[in-house]
Amino acid sequence: MTSSRIAFVVIGCSASMLAVGCGDGGDVAATQTSSPASSSGPAVQSATVNIASFAFAPDTITLKAGGSVTWINRDKAPHTAENTAEEGPPERFDTGRLTRGQQKRITFVRPGTYTYYCVYHRFMEANVIVR
């Protein structure tokens, strides 16, 4: 592929990502029915996940049931944190599209492991463990 064709593809992909709608920034209650996974960290009531350098940090959060996670996008690119319930019966959660500086808080009600990813950058994956 020529460099001009690569640039065209990159610009086209960027434009299509910008066309996706934004979330409203409110809370969403997420639920899951599978049993909780073990984690080495203590369960906390609330946590923050920074999205930077195309990664979620930290990549694993352990919450108490009823706790919440706030995702903050610190990258120039838009990102999401989304669980599509691909593995088993958990209900879906989605931060919606977050641009630089935007944030979204989600409350997790039921114990379980919630594996999530960025819909724009599928290689970005992390977990919320609720006890």
Domain boundaries along the sequence of the chain = 22-130
Q: What tens digit of pLDDT does each residue of 1-37 get? A: 444 444 434 444 444 444 333 344 444 445 443 333 3
- Structure confidence at residue 85 (pLDDT): 64
CA distance 50 to 71: 6
22-130: CATH number = 2.60.40.420
Residues whose CB is less than 8 angstroms from the CB of residue 116 and which lie 6 or more positions away in sequence, other chains included: 81, 82, 83, 93, 125, 126, 127, 128
CA distance readout (Å), 38 to 43, 62, 63: 10, 9, 11
pLDDT (average), residues 35-44: 60
- Structure confidence at residue 112 (pLDDT): 87
Hey, which bits of the chain come out as E strands? 28-30, 44-52, 55-57, 60-73, 82-83, 93-94, 103-108, 112-117, 125-130
Let me know the angle formed at the C-alpha of 88 by 69 and 123, rounded to the nearest 5 degrees: 60
Q: Length of the chain in residues, anyone?
A: 131
pTM: 0.69
Q: What tens digit of pLDDT does each residue of 68-108 get? A: 999 999 999 999 999 966 655 456 799 999 999 999 999 99
